[in-house]
Amino acid sequence: VARTGTNRLVALLGAFAVATAAACARRTDKPAAETTGTAASTAQAKASHVFHGTVTLVDTTAKALSVANENVPGWMSPMTMTYTVSNPEVFASIKVGDHISATVYDGDFRTLYDVKIDAGAGKTTSR
Ligand SMILES: [Cu+2]
């Protein structure tokens, strides 16, 4: 019974991912420098940014979030995108409308790190 809804949610997430991946590709001004060499050591040196946004979709099965972010200078302009998170335990409490903060890294537009739900902010009742 709930299966139809889940499938539609997954399809929606997929559509978001495709659309937003294209949007972000246009924002990649600098070609990746680490075409050769150890990717791990290069990745660790990447700059971090503080991310703020409002959750627009929660997929607890896929452990994915869609978030409408505020401008993150040098990383991403305001848009709605789907992400995975580094701390999936947030799925125990996170919900649509929550305002969250996280850490993001240059060149990594798919993962929100150390997601925190901001207390007292974005607690809208509308879905
Ligand atoms: Cu984006």
User: What residues have CB less than 8 Å from 12, skipping those under 6 apart?
Assistant: 57
- Average confidence score pLDDT of the chain: 80
Closest CA to 65 of 102, 34, 25: 102
> Bridge-partner residues for 113, per DSSP?
103
Least confident among 8-17, 30-39, 45-54, 69-78: 30-39
* Strongest mean pLDDT among 15-24, 41-50, 62-71: 62-71
Average confidence (pLDDT) over 10-32? 59
What does the angle CA 109 – CA 113 – CA 119 come to, to the nearest 5 degrees?
A: 115
Q: How far is the CA of 2 from the centre of ligand 1 (A)?
A: 30
* Percentage of the chain modeled with pLDDT above 70: 60
Question: What spacing in Å lies between the alpha carbon of 96 and ligand 1's midpoint?
Answer: 19
The alpha carbon of 1 and the centre of ligand 1 are apart by a number of angstroms equal to: 34
Residue 92 above 50 pLDDT?
yes
What pLDDT was estimated at residue 82?
98
Q: Please tell me the predicted confidence (pLDDT) of residue 119.
A: 85
CA of 18 to the centre of ligand 1 (A): 11
**Ligand 1 center to residue 123 CA distance, Å?**
23
- Evaluate if residue 89 carries a pLDDT over 60: yes
Residue 24 CA to ligand 1 centre (angstroms) = 5
Bridge-based pairing of strands 80-85 and 64-69 is antiparallel
Q: Token pair 């060499």 is at which residue?
A: 37
Provide the greatest CA pair distance for the chain: 51
